[in-house]
A and B are shown apart, each in its own frame.
Chain A
Amino acid sequence: MSTIATYVRRLGDNTLILSQRLSEWCGKGPALEEDMALTNVALDLIGQARLWFAYTAELEGNGSDEDQLAFLRDAHDFSNLLLVEQPNGNYADTLVRQFFFDAWHYHVLMALTRSADARIVEIAEKSIKEVTYHLRRSGDLVVRLGDGTEISHRMMQAAVDNLWMFTGEMFSQDDVEQRLQQSGVAPAADAIRAQWLEHVAEILGEATLVMPAADAWMQSGGKQGRHTEHLGYLLAEMQFLQRAYPGSKW
């Protein structure tokens, strides 16, 4: 598998898995309007996953397609960030997960609009409009709930503290990403990290939430297929039909 295909598939895996998580909220949001908004974000992300997977399949050139990539790989073949596979928890957990991801996603996609790979540029430009909105929304809600009632503040702080250890992985560069950075395809993780920390510090500050230490110990492994125990269950649900009736037209 080419290094570009590996990298592009990672981007697709992130958006697919987070989309699956968000769609679990359908009909269960705290208000009708929130329900619509979350599922809208889920639809945006699934659209992006399809674009990344279509390109992955094209690069691999082995006849696989978007559906096979989504439905016929097991957990150890998924390379999404550990952050996006975390359970929805309560609304604070979902929002904080979303905000951490959106802030990373936004800065990465901005950088990818200047990638040396033309197809990546194309997909990034398409996605950035949606992600700009996702980030605006999740940032806004983090401030509202962090600086809301005593209870909402406490729940948001707990979510920040619990999810923090999954954020470091977004900026850990393995040799795939290092090589792509050298060839100008992928951005420098350090630069993204600095932008992310600044963005997150600003919003958490406004939300009166305490930001955990940037150099805290971090979980990793998602990109290499070493996942938390949550991904297997998520895939079992998501892939059931395709596993039971493989290769069907739908």
Chain B
Amino acid sequence: MSKEWPLWEVFIRSQHGLAHKHVGSLHAPDAEMAINNARDVYTRRNEGVGIWVVKASDIVSSSPGDKTALFEPSNNKVYRHPTFFPMPEEVKNL
């Protein structure tokens, strides 16, 4: 057994928030304690929050070296960006 607790990434949805946002990381021996710790470290126990914890080792990240291949092609083709549609007033949070 490793002596070091594994690293967990913490995502929190605040009381009026629409989506879970990454807020930081912490060490914990398992998911349940990671949730408890996230509550103490990151939420000050505000009511109505959602917490996700994910083992850092389960997250796959894009590599900076792939930046050009992944994101560049669309940047010079404005017609690929859906920014030309007027949004109706009633549609919030888009």
Q: How many interface residues does chain A have, given as a range?
A: 10 to 19
Instruction: Check: B13 CB closer than 8 A to any chain A CB.
Output: no
Contact with A along B28-70 (1 / 0, CB 8 A): 1100110011011100110000000000000000000000000
Task: State the majority secondary structure of interface residues on A.
Answer: helix
Which chain B residues border A36 with CB–CB below 8 Å? 37, 40-41
Closest Cβ neighbor of B28 among chain A residues: A33
State whether A32 touches B45 (Cβ < 8 A). no
Instruction: Check: A5 CB closer than 8 A to any chain B CB.
Output: no
Q: How many interface residues does chain B have, given as a range?
A: 10 to 19
A interface residues with partner B (beta carbon < 8 Å): 31-33, 36-37, 40, 130, 133, 137, 140, 144
State whether A33 touches B41 (Cβ < 8 A). yes
State whether A31 touches B27 (Cβ < 8 A). yes
State whether B26 touches A33 (Cβ < 8 A). yes
Closest Cβ neighbor of A44 among chain B residues: B45
Are A40 and B5 CB-contacts (below 8 A) given A32-B26, A133-B45? Answer: no
B41 to chain A, nearest CB (A): 5
Which chain B residues border A33 with CB–CB below 8 Å? 26-28, 33, 37, 40-41
State whether A40 touches B36 (Cβ < 8 A). no
State whether A37 touches B5 (Cβ < 8 A). no
How far, in angstroms, from A231 to B27 measured CA to CA in the complex?
A: 35
Which chain A residues border B39 with CB–CB below 8 Å? 133
Task: Name 16 A/B residue pairs within 8 A (Cβ), A-sorted.
Answer: A31-B5, A31-B27, A32-B41, A33-B27, A33-B33, A33-B40, A33-B41, A36-B41, A37-B36, A37-B40, A40-B40, A40-B45, A130-B45, A137-B36, A140-B36, A144-B33
B24 to chain A, nearest CB (A): 12
How far, in angstroms, from A173 to B24 measured CA to CA in the complex?
A: 48
A245 to chain B, nearest CB (A): 32
Which chain B residues border A40 with CB–CB below 8 Å? 40, 44-45
In the complex, the 9 A-B pairs of residues with the closest C-beta atoms, listed nearest first: A33-B37, A37-B40, A36-B40, A40-B40, A36-B41, A33-B26, A137-B36, A33-B41, A33-B28
Which chain A residues border B37 with CB–CB below 8 Å? 33, 36-37
Closest Cβ neighbor of B47 among chain A residues: A129
Closest Cβ neighbor of B39 among chain A residues: A133
Which chain A residues border B29 with CB–CB below 8 Å? 144
Contact with A along B72-94 (1 / 0, CB 8 A): 00000000000000000000000
Are A140 and B32 CB-contacts (below 8 A) given A31-B5, A32-B26, A32-B27? Answer: yes
